[in-house]
């Protein structure tokens, strides 16, 4: 297909180099600015993402226009992903609004239903690609991924049963034709103050062994995961790493503090500028891991 395949070549290059790419969520202009400024300083590609709720706040069209403006301004590989889309309808809207990647989350469905619904998404997207000559990366999800992108005080136990099974991962990719697969290997959404968020890298290696390069592997729930485990996942074959809660935490902490410390200040950009710096710090730390600097 004579399409815009930049996204695929970036993902392939990173996978071949045993490196990863961050998919950082945003729902405001200052968070997006922090992510973009940092990756440009780091000279590293990036995926920025909106969940359905985050996209509802901005609108899909506005999110796509914001990302496109940054991409043009710096001529930099910045890809926009719909994160945790739960219906074909929202996937269609995102693609038609200009998103480069879509994640269909059918992980709460039965194995069979998940395959069926994911395949419907893939079929529709492939038709769009053919007509528009534009590559869209489709991500499916398999395994029980718990939590939400928030701070959790309760304890969280993950059982062996929740983890993605290697043979099922292979069958899922074969039958749906997805480009990438989000797997459950001990990762959890959010930051759990009273639980360890350790990855089962042995399970990752088993999955990688069976699927090879048939699909890019994705790790959700990157926040709160020890650096050592993230670095291990980079080495063992995860290509896309999703981060949200740590950015939300940085945003809310600095914003609160700044509003408290400057009760007379009413100028939004003066109050929000320190947030850009806080976001950059989080992104910098993750990009270093993704580049393989901790291996
Ligand atoms: O889909 C988004 C990510 O999985 C975010 O997870 O909030 O734990 O970083 P996180
Ligand atoms: Zn996620």
Is the full-model pTM beyond 0.85? yes
Among 144, 146, 243, say which to mutate for ligand 1: greatest number of ligand atoms within 8 Å of CB: 243
The binding-site residues of ligand 1, defined as CB within 6 angstroms of any ligand atom, are 25, 83-84, 149, 189-190, 220-223, 242-245
Among 26, 193, 222, say which to mutate for ligand 1: greatest number of ligand atoms within 8 Å of CB: 222
**Mean of pLDDT values over 64-74:** 97
Digit-coded pLDDT (tens) for 7-56: 999 999 999 999 999 999 999 999 999 999 999 999 999 999 999 999 99
Digit-coded pLDDT (tens) for 207-249: 999 999 999 999 999 999 999 999 999 999 999 999 999 999 9
Digit-coded pLDDT (tens) for 84-102: 999 999 999 999 999 999 9
Tell me the DSSP string of 229-248.
HHHHHHHTTEEEEEE-HHHH
pLDDT of residue 4: 63
Helices 227-235 and 268-290, axial angle in degrees (round to 10) = 50
Per-residue confidence at 3, pLDDT binned at 50, 70, 90?
Answer: very low
Digit-coded pLDDT (tens) for 164-219: 999 999 999 999 999 999 999 999 999 999 988 999 999 999 999 999 999 999 99
Ligand 2 centroid to residue 9 C-alpha, Å: 23
Phi, psi of 179 (to 5 degrees): -90, -35
Query: Does the active-site annotation cover 179?
Result: no
* Residue 2 pLDDT greater than 60, yes or no: no
Task: Choose among 35, 15, 82: nearest CA to 287.
Answer: 35
């Amino acid at each position: 297909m004579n399409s815009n395949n930049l996204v695929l070549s970036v993902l392939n290059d990173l996978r071949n180099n045993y490196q990863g790419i961050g998919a950082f969520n945003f729902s405001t202009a200052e968070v997006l600015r922090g992510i973009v400024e940092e990756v440009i300083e780091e000279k590293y590609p990036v995926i920025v993402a909106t969940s359905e709720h985050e996209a509802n706040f901005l609108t899909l069209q506005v999110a796509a226009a914001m990302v496109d403006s940054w991409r043009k301004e710096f001529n930099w590989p910045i890809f926009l992903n719909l994160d945790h889309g739960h219906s074909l309808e929202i996937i269609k809207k995102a693609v038609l609004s200009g998103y480069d990647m879509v994640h269909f989350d059918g992980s709460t469905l039965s194995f069979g239903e998940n395959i069926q619904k994911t395949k419907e998404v893939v079929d529709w997207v492939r038709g769009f690609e053919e007509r528009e000559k534009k590559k869209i990366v489709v991500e499916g999800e398999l395994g029980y991924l718990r939590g939400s992108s928030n701070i959790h005080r309760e304890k969280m136990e993950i059982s062996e049963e929740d983890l993605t099974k290697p043979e099922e991962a292979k069958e899922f990719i074969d039958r749906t034709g997805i480009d990438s697969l989000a797997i459950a290997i001990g990762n959890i959404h959010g930051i759990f103050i009273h639980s360890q968020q350790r990855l089962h890298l042995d399970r990752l290696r088993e999955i990688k062994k069976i699927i090879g390069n048939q699909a890019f592997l994705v790790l959700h729930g990157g926040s709160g995961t020890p650096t050592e485990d993230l670095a291990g996942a980079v080495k063992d074959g995860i290509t896309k790493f999703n981060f949200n809660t740590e950015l939300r935490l940085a945003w809310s902490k600095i914003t609160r503090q700044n509003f408290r410390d400057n009760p007379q200040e009413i100028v939004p950009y003066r109050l929000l500028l320190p947030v850009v710096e806080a976001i950059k710090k989080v992104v910098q730390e993750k990009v270093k891991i993704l580049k393989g600097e901790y291996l």
